[in-house]
Amino acid sequence: MIGRVFNGRYRITERIGIGGMAEVYKAQDQVLGRTVAVKVMLPQYAADPEFTARFKQEAASAANLQSPYIVNVYDWGQDDGTYFIVMEFVRGTDLKSAIQQRGAINQRKVAEIGSQVCQALSVAHGLDIIHRDIKPQNIMVQPDGNVKVMDFGIARAKNSVKTQTSSVLGTAHYISPEQAQGKELDGTSDMYSLGCVLYEAATGQLPFDGPDAVSVAMRQVNEAPVPPSQINPEIHPDLEAIILKAMEKNPVNRFRTAREMKHALDDFMMGRPVNLGENVNSAATQVMNGVVPPISNDVPGGTAVMPAVSSMNGNSGPMKTVDYRAGGKEFDMGKKKSSKRTVGIVIGALVAILAIAGIALAVSGAFGGQTRVPDVTGQTEEAARQAIEAAGYVVGEVTEENSTDTVSGRVIRTDPAADSELAKGETVNIVVSIGAKKGTVPDLNGKTAEEAQQMIEDAGFVAKFGGNESSDAEENTVSRQDPASGTEADEGTTITYWISTGPELTNVPNVIGDDQATARATLESAGFTVSIQDGEYSDRYDEGVVMSQEPNGGQLEAGETVTIYISLGKDPATIPVNVPAVTGMSESEAISELNSAGFTNVGVSYESSNTVPEGDVIRQTQSGTATTDTYIEIVVSSGSGSSSTDDTQPTDPDDSTTQSDSQG
């Protein structure tokens, strides 16, 4: 595949990824001169006509999604039986790799990632596009910390290989219960998958795991997740509640929309009370009884196609519930145990917890008190000071920092971080936002797409390709940009640029055979300047008719000159005319008569004659009609005596002197 050029435009340079449905390559767009990613669908899927039909529809739908958090789809098509999609090449790493390398991620960063993914999902759901394969492998983290979601619409296309819902598409570790069962999906399925992603990011562990995809999917349907705080005690109760609400087994109990989930995550980041929606009081994760059928697991962590089940199997009793609210976390896996034994275990556990808590309180009291740094993110400096001092700490250094996420004058973070354990009386430093860093939009005029992209990113902005357009700018360079160069803008602002395909060209009309007036009007109405030149004599084109033009066809810019050449008609020299009868005329009269008729090629010879007076024409070699370039000879009398025929010569009509033979 390396070196192959798709559609004569996208040259493959290296493979950068492989999944269960496709391979992804880095490529060079040879038209726009930019780096792109090309996703090539595997042959077993590209060969299915139903798949290809939906693939085209979904690729076109994905190309319509416009969001700074969605990977742009530039192009798609088919080349020699291979179906491909051309996407924005995103620099950075996928979230899965980040989790594998670092383990649990800072919980505020987890919320920020979730908020951005929610914004992307909100755009897609608004266009009736369900992702169906949200997983950390499809979330790219860029160098600036922002994310981009990949593969919008592609999962839906793959899920539409058959008209019946007899197959289910997804990745077992992140698939929603209803998706595993082949049920009709809506946007809440994507939110369940996002909940699984945030769970993994916040804890460093998958919510459900197993030896194979089948067992993992069965746990998605049948089990409730372990509350994240049991894995990572640092997790804030509000973030935990958001994650578990997104992972409700019953879609009705999840966030109603991606926007609602985004608001909850934003509230958590800004330190505001988190609204979990109307069903917050129930706060119950319902565990669905049932089994999941066999699942293809050829690609670890990859998108799997699995047969669906039409109904749930297994126990038909009431669904169990798990209360995940802060303070007393019950975790019922649905197993039947003796109630007395259960009560005993619970009482014993409570006694042990209280004993440990008592010891901890005694120790903390002896040493002045150990508590947690309050979360003052998003508060004003004054409000943050009051909260920190009220918690028993001393406010230390207050520094300022640019931020695109926190408004000016509000707290970005504290040091030590919020929720950190810290003895009372210790110092807490505050970092306050001074707003987004400003930058000057660079001048992209005359730059190639790749150069423009690099300049925008180097200046701290986000680059977006607006499309191709005809303009006076040089071909394959930036024709215009928005905002304009020199504008002051916040760092992270999107700068859109358009690439010129060169000036707009117009087809040159063919006016050969038209009369001069008609030809001129035709060319001028097409936007061209007309130059008229004399042509040549022509047997084909009448006088006054266009016999040729420059250029003849092709395209020119409006206002350029087209030259037309006008026929002079037939060459007079080729038209037969009457030859004057000059016998008996004097030599000079005869020559003048012939010249006047157009015959200029006249020769004179002399001959003695006893009957024709000397100097008069005895006879002529041509009579009747002839073309004017015909040679005509006149024989002139030299009087009586010997004749002289060696003096024959053509005459010049402008030469009044004629040569005569004086021999007598």
Q: In this structure, what is the dihedral angle of CA atoms 95, 100, 103, 104, given to the nearest 10 degrees?
A: 30
Fold of the CATH domain 438-500? Trypsin Inhibitor V; Chain A (3.30.10)
Q: Residue for token digits 């039409």?
A: 310
Active site residue 133: yes
User: What is the third-level CATH fold of 505-570?
Assistant: Trypsin Inhibitor V; Chain A (3.30.10)
Residues 611-639 have a mean pLDDT of 92
Residue 304: how many other CB atoms lie within 10 Å? 25
Q: What is the pLDDT of residue 337?
A: 36
**How many whole angstroms from its chain centre is CA 36?**
9
The model's confidence at residue 146, banded by pLDDT at 50, 70 and 90, is very high
Give the pLDDT confidence score for residue 14 in this predicted structure. 93
* Strand-pair partners of 59: none
Handedness of CA 136, 138, 139, 143 (dihedral sign): positive
pLDDT tens by residue, 97-107: 999 988 999 99
Please state the rounded mean pLDDT for residues 151-174: 54
Residues ≥6 apart with Cβ < 8 Å to 36: 10, 26, 27, 28, 29, 74, 86, 87, 88, 89
What residues does each domain of the chain span? 5-88, 94-336, 370-433, 438-500, 505-570, 574-651
In this chain, the answer to whether the domains covering 370-433 and 574-651 adopt an identical fold is yes
Residue 60, pLDDT score? 75
What was the pLDDT predicted at 355? 38
Residue 264: is its pLDDT beyond 50? yes
Distances (CA, A) of 213 to 17, 44, 317: 21, 21, 26
**8 Å CB contact between 447 and 477:** yes
Say which DSSP state 85 is in. Answer: E
Among candidate residues 29, 133, 151, 238, the one labeled active-site is 133
Domain 574-651 has CATH 3.90.1170.50: no
Q: What is the reported pTM?
A: 0.46
CA distance linking residue 258 with residue 119, whole number of Å: 7
Average pLDDT, the chain: 80
Report which of residues 565 and 78 the model is more confident about. Answer: 565
Confidence of residue 302 (pLDDT cuts 50, 70, 90): low
**pLDDT-derived band at 642, boundaries 50, 70, 90:** low
Does residue 268 register a pLDDT over 50?
A: yes
Q: What is the pLDDT of residue 278?
A: 53
Distance between CA atoms of residues 364 and 375, nearest Å: 21
* Superfamily name with CATH number, domain 94-336: Transferase(Phosphotransferase) domain 1 (1.10.510.10)
What is the residue-wise DSSP string for 325-353? SSSS-----S----HHHHHHHHHHHHHHH
For the cut 90, the answer to whether the pLDDT of residue 116 exceeds it is yes
**Per-residue DSSP letters for 592-629?**
HHHHHTT---EEEEEE--SSSPTTBEEEES--SEEETT
Tell me the C-alpha distance between 379 and 430, whole Å: 11
> Has 39 been labeled as part of a binding site?
yes
Average pLDDT over residues 180-190: 89
Q: Partners of 602 in the beta sheet? A: 632, 651
Strands 602-607 and 632-637: parallel
Assess contact for 563 and 529: CB atoms under 8 A: no
Tokens of 556: 């020119």
Q: What is the percentage of the chain residues whose pLDDT exceeds 90?
A: 45
pLDDT recorded at residue 45 = 76
Residues 20-66: tens digit of each pLDDT: 677 899 999 998 889 999 988 888 777 777 777 766 776 777 788 88
Query: Stretch 453-466: mean pLDDT, rounded?
Result: 90
Contact status, residue 99 vs residue 201, Cβ threshold 8 Å: yes
Q: Determine the average pLDDT of the residues in 582-601.
A: 93
Domain 370-433 has CATH 3.30.10.20: yes
The CATH number fitting domain 5-88, selected from 3.40.50.300, 3.30.413.10, 3.10.290.10, 3.30.200.20? 3.30.200.20
Bridge partners of 421?
372
pLDDT of residue 444: 95
